[in-house]
Amino acid sequence: MITPATQPRICVVGSSNVDLISYVPRLPRPGETLRGSRFRLEYGGKGANQAVMAAKLGGQVAMVAKVGHDAFGKNMLANFHTCGVDTQFVLSTSQAFSGVASIAVGPDGENSITVVAGANDLLTEADIEAARAVIGGAQILICQLEVPLKTTLAALALARNLNVRTIVNPAPAQPDLPEKLYALSNIVCPNETETELLTGQAVETMEQAERAARILLKRGAGAVVLTLGSRGSLLVTAEETIHVPVAPVDPVDTTGAGDAFVGSLAYFLAADLTIMEAMRRANAIAAMSVQSPGTQSSFPAAADLPPSLLQGCACATHGSFSIQ
């Protein structure tokens, strides 16, 4: 079990949203109005989700983000505090509303999401420089694509200069990302849909997934970890390809499962586990998350996990996955 003196240190630069979740008999077609069965208001945003997941496992987590000077923003700050996330650099602005995600969830747990970025779009390169100390104090920096790309690139470049490992979750996927983003990423971690959008390649089979991942390696990524839903995850490096399966579960709500995986992966890598073991444990935690409704509320805390998932961790300066 990890003790407070050896807490993995993680910084997340990214989005923070309020999730407006509607449960529907099926996902709506264009132009269609459906009557939902129930509604939930939760806290989300890929960056916030990943930060909360790492904090729930026991990590020392700092968030760099921007929220609106509104009720949603105040509530998001309160939620971070409740979850144990450092909010020194979660900044507030009166120039935009807080980010909002409208989520429809079908009976099979699949979802459709519309995001209005709001204040997330106002996170700047200057904000990243102001957060230099918390980024440099982390073992791993996590970024996504829900804040301006130039801001994400600034964070990744700063992390590289400060010898901090980086994980990039390229979501929502953009087909023409600059190679600089890949070159600054120790690990690129997309899901199946994102991989197809990034590469133009199908990932229906493991062989196809490997070929697509190798395209991302050629663009400069140090390693690629593909999340494959019920098929687990796939590690692809210049030297090897390894599939890490996951035990089957009956999903209730898949919203945020990828974020549960990324936050857990960062935590376990910062806790000095090998990448294969970190992926195995992140698979298990993501699988647990889909068995409950909601986003962050579905993420298991350390106390909810089998002890075996938190055993054998020892914090180290650079961990077992070397900087490329």
Give me 271's structure tokens: 């806790």
Distance CA 190, CA 215 (A): 13
DSSP string over 275-298: HHHHHHHHHHHHHHHTTSSSSGGG
Q: What's the whole-number mean pLDDT along residues 97-109?
A: 89
- pLDDT on residue 186: 98
pLDDT in tens, 233-250: 999 999 999 999 998 888
pLDDT level of residue 321 (50, 70, 90 thresholds) = very low
Q: What's the whole-number mean pLDDT along residues 180-202?
A: 97
Q: Which fold has domain 4-310?
A: UDP-N-acetylmuramoyl-L-alanine:D-glutamate ligase (3.40.1190)
Is residue 324 over pLDDT 90? Answer: no
Contacts of 143 (CB under 8 A, 6+ apart): 12, 13, 14, 47, 152, 155, 156, 166, 167, 168, 169
Q: Backbone phi, then psi, for 186, in 5-degree steps?
A: -70, -40
* Helix and strand numbers, DSSP H then E, in the chain: 10, 13
Distance CA 24, CA 2 (A): 40
Q: What's the whole-number mean pLDDT along residues 177-186?
A: 97
Q: What percent of the chain has pLDDT over 70?
A: 95
Spell 196-234 as b/e; 16+ CB within 10 A means b: bbbbebebeeeebbbebbbebbebbbbbbbbbbbebbbb
The amino acid that residue 270 corresponds to is: A
Query: Among 19, 70, 259, 272, which one carries the catalytic annotation?
Result: 259
User: Is 259 a catalytic site residue?
Assistant: yes
Distance CA 173, CA 60 (A): 28
Give me 264's structure tokens: 């857990």
- pLDDT on residue 254: 80
- pLDDT on residue 73: 97
Break the chain down into helix, strand, coil percent, rounded to 5.
Answer: 40, 25, 40
> Domain residues of the chain, as ranges?
4-310
Q: How many CA atoms lie within 13 A of 223 on its CB side?
A: 22
pLDDT in tens, 247-287: 888 888 787 899 999 999 999 999 999 999 999 999 999 99
pLDDT in tens, 144-175: 999 999 999 999 999 999 999 999 999 999 88
pLDDT in tens, 204-236: 999 999 999 999 999 999 999 999 999 999 999
Is residue 30 over pLDDT 80? Answer: yes
- pLDDT on residue 198: 97
